[in-house]
Amino acid sequence: MSKLEFRLPLGVVSQSDIIRLSRELAAVDEFFIAAKARAAGTPVTPPRLTRLLDEISKENQLNLLQANHRQSLAQQLDKLKGSAPTIQISFAAEPPSKFLERILAWLRENIHQHALVQVGLQPSIAAGCVLRTPNKVFDMSLRAHLDKEKAYLVELIKGAVSRGGSQ
C-alpha cells in the first residue's frame, strides 16, 4: 500500500486525531499480544473501536484483526504525524462538524489528500475565515473582502455625501 493510496476519512481532522488513532491502534495491538499470551479460560475483553478507527480501516480496506494490517496502519499514521500538511483555519466561532467536513473535503480534494486542519477561533473576523499555510496567510475574512471592495464603498460614501451636500 503506497502513501498516495492511503485515504484519510473526513472524521480525521487534525494531528490530535492522528495521535488518538495511533494510541487506539496501539491499544488494539496490545490486546492481541495479550490475547496470545493469555491462559485458557481467561475472559477476553476486546477494546472498543472508535468510529474514527473503524472508518479509517474501512476506507483503506484494512482488517485490524490482522497484525500486518495493524502494523501498516500504524506506519501510515506515524508517517502522517510527521508529513501530513497541517493548515490552520481561524473562524469567528466554533464551526459545526458538517461545515468543517466540507472544508476538509475541499482541501483534500484540491490541495493534498492528507491535509489536516487546525481550527482556531478569532472573533474579530466577524465572517469568513483566515487560512494559514506554512508560509502564507490567506485572509478570507469579511474585513479582507471589504478591503477589496473599498473602491466601491468609497463610491457609495461619496454618492451619499454629495446627495447630502446637494440637499
List interacting residues with another protein (CB under 8 A): 83, 85, 87, 91-93, 95-96, 98-99, 102-103, 106-107, 110-112, 115, 123-124, 126-129, 131, 133-136, 138, 140-144, 146-147, 150, 153-154, 157
Lookup: cell for 144:
479582507
Which residue, 33 or 140, has its beta carbon nearer to another protein?
140
Cβ nearer to another protein, comparing 65 with 146: 146
Q: How far is the CB of 55 from another protein (least distance, A)?
A: 23
Smallest distance, Å, CB 117 to another protein?
12
Closer to another protein by CB, 58 or 102: give it: 102
d(CA 61, CA 110): 23
Residue 129 near residue 141, CB atoms below 8 Å: yes
Rg (the chain; Cα; Å) = 24
Torsion angle, CA of 103/105/106/108, rounded to 10 degrees?
120
Q: Among residues 3 and 58, whose Cβ is nearest to another protein?
A: 3
79-108 b/e with 16+ CB inside 10 Å = b?
ebeeebeebbbbbbeebeeeebeebbeebb
Minimal distance, residue 139 CB to another protein, in Å: 9
